[in-house]
Amino acid sequence: MEWLATLSLGHHEPVCSVCLIKEHCLLASADQSGLIIITCLRKRKQVCQYKAGAQVLHLTYYFDDDFCGGFFFLNAQLRTGSLLVFKYYPTRCTITAGESLELVKELPIAEFSFCRHVIKSGLLVGPRTETSPVLIDIKTFDYCPFSIFSDHQEHGALMAVDLHDSRLLACGYEDGSVIIFDITNPVSPTVTTQLKALEESVTCLCFIPHNNWLVIGGAVNKIAVWMDDENLNYSKVFRNNGIATCVYLSKLIYTGGWDGRVRVFKLPDTDDSNIVEMMSTTDEGVYDTITCMDIGILQDAVPGKSLLKKTTRLLVTGSKDCHVNLWSIA
What pLDDT digit, counting tens, does each position of 145-202 carry? 665 666 678 899 999 999 998 789 999 999 999 999 998 887 778 888 899 989 999 9
Whether 74 is covered by a domain: the verdict is yes
Residue 66 has pLDDT above 60, yes or no: no
What's residue 282's pLDDT? 61
Whether 21 is covered by a domain: the verdict is yes
Whether 299 is covered by a domain: the verdict is no
What backbone phi and psi angles, to 5 degrees, belong to 307? -65, -20
Contact 107, 85 (CB under 8 A): yes
What's residue 55's pLDDT? 94
What's residue 131's pLDDT? 87
What backbone phi and psi angles, to 5 degrees, belong to 271? -65, -25
Distance (Å, whole) CA 324 – CA 4:
11
What's residue 24's pLDDT? 86
**65/80 same-domain check:** yes
Whether 258 is covered by a domain: the verdict is no
**22/167 same-domain check:** no
Whether 300 is covered by a domain: the verdict is no
**Total domains present in the chain:** 2
- Give the pLDDT band of residue 209 (cuts 50, 70, 90): confident
Higher pLDDT, 108 or 148: 108
Contact 4, 278 (CB under 8 A): no
Residue 98 has pLDDT above 50, yes or no: no
Task: Judge residue 182's burial from the number of C-beta atoms within 10 Å of its C-beta, 0-12 exposed, 13-18 middle, 19 or more buried.
Answer: middle
**For range 94-122, the mean pLDDT:** 80
Q: Select from 181, 189, 238, 184 the least CA-distant residue to 207.
A: 181
**149/270 same-domain check:** yes
Q: What is the CATH number of the domain that holds 157?
A: 2.130.10.10
**127/191 same-domain check:** yes
Q: Are strands 222-227 and 252-257 parallel, antiparallel or unpaired?
A: unpaired
Distance (Å, whole) CA 177 – CA 195:
6
- Give the pLDDT band of residue 298 (cuts 50, 70, 90): confident
**98/152 same-domain check:** no
What's the gap between Cα 94 and its chain centre?
A: 26
Higher pLDDT, 50 or 306: 50
Average pLDDT of the chain is 84
pLDDT per position as a tens digit, 24-52: 889 999 999 999 999 988 888 888 899 99
pTM: 0.89
> How far from 261 is each of 241, 247, 255, 286, 317, CA to CA, in Å?
11, 14, 8, 6, 10
**For range 244-271, the mean pLDDT:** 86
> How far from 48 is each of 51, 63, 92, 112, CA to CA, in Å?
11, 19, 9, 27
Whether 101 is covered by a domain: the verdict is yes
**270/124 same-domain check:** yes
What's residue 165's pLDDT? 81
Distance (Å, whole) CA 268 – CA 275:
5
What's residue 309's pLDDT? 63
**75/183 same-domain check:** no
Torsion over CA: 28, 129, 123, 194 (sign): positive
Higher pLDDT, 121 or 307: 121
Neighbours of 39 (CB within 10 A): 21
Domain limits at 57? Answer: 1-108+319-330
Would you report the helix, strand and coil content of the chain in percent, each value rounded to 5?
5, 50, 45
Higher pLDDT, 53 or 75: 75
154 CB-near residues (< 8 Å, 6+ apart): none
For a pLDDT cut of 90, what percent of the chain falls above it? 42
**103/133 same-domain check:** no
Q: Which helix (H) or strand (E) holds 256?
A: strand 252-257
**125/270 same-domain check:** yes
**156/39 same-domain check:** no
Distance (Å, whole) CA 31 – CA 41:
19
Whether 216 is covered by a domain: the verdict is no
Whether 151 is covered by a domain: the verdict is yes
Contact 251, 225 (CB under 8 A): no
**98/131 same-domain check:** no
**271/142 same-domain check:** yes
